[in-house]
Amino acid sequence: MLCQKQQQQFRCIALNASALLLYSHKNKPLPVEHSVLGGFSNDYSLAQQQRRNLYTSKFRMAPTSEENKSKPIGLVAIDETRRFMTDCFLKSKTSPENSKAMADLLAEADYRGHFSHGMNRLEMYINDLHKNSTDGMCQPEILNETPATAWVDGKNGLGAVVGNFCMDIAIKKAKQVGVGVVAAKRSNHYGIAGWYTMRAMKEGLIGLSGTNTSPLMTPSRSLEPALGTNPISFAAPANNGDSFVLDMATTAVAVGKIEIQRRKGEKIPLGWAYDEQGNMTTDANLAFTSGCLAPLGGNELTSGYKGYGLGAMVEILCGILSGSLYSNKVRKWTHVGSDAEADLGQFFIAIDPNCFAPGFTDRQTDMNNILRNLKPVDPSKPVLVAGDPEREHMEKVDKEGGVRYTPNQIKTCEELAKRLNIPPLKFNS
Ligand SMILES: NC(=O)c1ccc[n+]([C@@H]2O[C@H](COP(=O)([O-])OP(=O)(O)OC[C@H]3O[C@@H](n4cnc5c(N)ncnc54)[C@H](O)[C@@H]3O)[C@@H](O)[C@H]2O)c1
The whole-number pLDDT of residue 42 equals: 32
- Using CA atoms, how far residue 284 sits from 288, 289, 370, in Å, is 6, 9, 39
**Minimum CA distance residue for ligand 1 atom 14:** 248
Active site amino acids: 189
Tell me if 133 is assigned to some domain: yes
pLDDT over 90 at 408, yes or no: no
Tell me if 90 is assigned to some domain: yes
**What secondary structure does DSSP assign to 208-230, as a single string?**
EEEE--SS-B--TT-SS--B---
How many Å apart are CA 240 and CA 253, to the nearest integer?
A: 32
The whole-number pLDDT of residue 287 equals: 87
- CA-closest candidate to residue 125, choices 156, 96, 166: 156
Tell me if 425 is assigned to some domain: no
Average pLDDT over residues 254-271: 76
Q: Which of 40, 105, 117 to mutate to test the pocket of ligand 1 (most atoms within 8 A of CB)?
A: 117
How many Å apart are CA 410 and CA 104, to the nearest integer?
A: 19
Per DSSP (E only), the strands in 192-342 are 206-211, 232-237, 243-248, 273-274, 292-293
Q: Ligand 1: distance of its center to the CA of 247 in Å? A: 5
- Using CA atoms, how far residue 60 sits from 249, 261, 272, 399, in Å, is 18, 9, 12, 26
The whole-number pLDDT of residue 332 equals: 80
- For residue 66, the one-letter residue type is E
Q: Ligand 1: distance of its center to the CA of 191 in Å? A: 12
Q: Residue 157: which domain range?
A: 9-420
Q: Ligand 1: distance of its center to the CA of 203 in Å? A: 22
Tell me if 426 is assigned to some domain: no
- Minimum-distance ligand 1 atom for the alpha carbon of 48: 20
Lowest mean pLDDT among 23-27, 76-80, 422-426: 23-27
Tell me if 1 is assigned to some domain: no
> What are the beta bridge partners of residue 75?
404
The whole-number pLDDT of residue 409 equals: 86
Q: What is the CATH number of the domain that holds 258?
A: 3.30.1370.60
- Minimum-distance ligand 1 atom for the alpha carbon of 381: 31
Tell me if 373 is assigned to some domain: yes
How many Å apart are CA 116 and CA 341, to the nearest integer?
A: 22
Tell me if 152 is assigned to some domain: yes
Q: Ligand 1: distance of its center to the CA of 114 in Å? A: 8
List all residues whose CB is within 6 A of at least one atom of ligand 1. 55, 114, 116-117, 189-194, 211, 213, 229, 231, 233, 245-249, 254, 384-387, 389-390
pLDDT tens for 182-227 read 999 999 999 999 999 999 999 999 999 999 999 999 999 999 999 9
Per DSSP (E only), the strands in 192-351 are 206-211, 232-237, 243-248, 273-274, 292-293, 344-351
- Minimum-distance ligand 1 atom for the alpha carbon of 190: 1
Average pLDDT over residues 19-23: 30
Number of domains in the chain: 1
- Minimum-distance ligand 1 atom for the alpha carbon of 232: 43
Tell me if 293 is assigned to some domain: yes
Burial class (CB in 10 A: 0-12, 13-18, 19+), 229: buried
How many Å apart are CA 253 and CA 384, to the nearest integer?
A: 19
Give first-to-last CA distance, the chain, whole Å: 53
Q: Ligand 1: distance of its center to the CA of 289 in Å? A: 24
Burial class (CB in 10 A: 0-12, 13-18, 19+), 196: buried
